[in-house]
Amino acid sequence: MTLSEIEKALVSFLPEKDEYIKTVVSAMEYSLTAGGKRIRPMLTLQFAKLCGGSEECALPFACAVEMIHTYSLIHDDLPCMDDDDLRRGKPTNHKVFGEAAAVLAGDALLTLAFETVLSEKAAALNGFAKCAEAGRVLASCAGAEGMIGGQIIDIESENEARSISLERLRVMDEKKTGALIKAACLMGCISAGADETQKNAAARYAECIGLAFQIVDDMLDVTSDEATLGKPIGSDSANNKSTYVSLLGLDECKKLASRLTDEAISSLSVFSNGAEDLTALALSLRDRNQ
């Protein structure tokens, strides 16, 4: 499935913009269509195919994960959180729609994610049991024990203004970015009716690429330039933020990212064939320059 097909599907789940709610729906749409690599929905679709399912059945689950990711960016950018004015070169949601509407648009996307997983369309394609399981996995990975837990660690680490330990950094990233990547992979497996061995392999793949992704992010903040990266570089060090690079050094980071990528790829060996795309994805995340 192409990027534009995913984006068309995402928009198709938005409510109609009637005279009463057009502001909040426009704010939801603004961030949902603001681009991005769409890695998470891609993972859902790829794992569905790999486990013998179909992209069509997994599509509502894929869209739901991207809705959760999008809401988390809107709330992250708020003045009381990271206070960012720009996201992917465009004004952030609250800069365009105001803070109140941005809070509500985030809340509404979070809610819409579950409405989508449990929609009649999703149920007709997957059955109730798979929809309920997918929704439970999504909630558990996106909630206080998952993504939101990672956010609170991040906020508290900034407030403490002291060096974060490697262990705390790892737990933070595992929750903040890893958990939702895991949900994306698992929901693809669930749609396809995968067995436990396949789900465990998908979870391991997700853990490895999630952590490698974050390590590469930290490396790019040091080694890239603003034009290539599309955002200011050196911000971590300027903010005295502990990163994998500040804690381990560039060389060790490079080795670790490679090792994790290798492990992600080797976890795919339980699938007899068809894992080329997920192998390529893991490599491209390691070798990206933005």
Q: Which residues bind its own copies (CB under 8 A)?
A: 15, 20-21, 23-25, 28, 71, 75, 78-81, 98-101, 103-104, 106-108, 110-112, 114-115, 118-120, 123, 128-129, 131-133, 135-136, 138-140, 142-145, 148-149, 151-153, 155-156, 168, 171-172, 175
Q: Which of 45, 142 has the CB closer to its own copies?
A: 142
Distance CA 179, CA 222 (A): 25
Distance CA 203, CA 184 (A): 10
CB of 176 to its own copies, least distance (A): 11
CB of 264 to its own copies, least distance (A): 24
3-state secondary structure of 165: coil
The first and second tokens of residue 25, run together, are 């729906």
Nearest to 145 by CA among 166, 175, 184: 175
CB of 19 to its own copies, least distance (A): 9
Q: Which of 10, 216 has the CB closer to its own copies?
A: 10
CB of 256 to its own copies, least distance (A): 22
Query: Are the CB atoms for 60 and 121 separated by under 8 Å?
Result: yes
The first and second tokens of residue 4, run together, are 């534009």
Query: Are the CB atoms for 105 and 28 separated by under 8 Å?
Result: yes
Q: Which of 159, 272 has the CB closer to its own copies?
A: 159
Tell whether the torsion through CA atoms of 144, 174, 29 and 188 is positive or negative. Answer: negative
Q: Which of 56, 145 has the CB closer to its own copies?
A: 145
Q: Which of 239, 289 has the CB closer to its own copies?
A: 239
CB of 93 to its own copies, least distance (A): 12
Q: Which of 78, 270 has the CB closer to its own copies?
A: 78
3-state secondary structure of 192: coil
DSSP lists the bridge partners of residue 91 as: 86
CB of 59 to its own copies, least distance (A): 17
Query: Are the CB atoms for 109 and 73 separated by under 8 Å?
Result: no
Distance CA 182, CA 205 (A): 8
The first and second tokens of residue 64, run together, are 């739901």
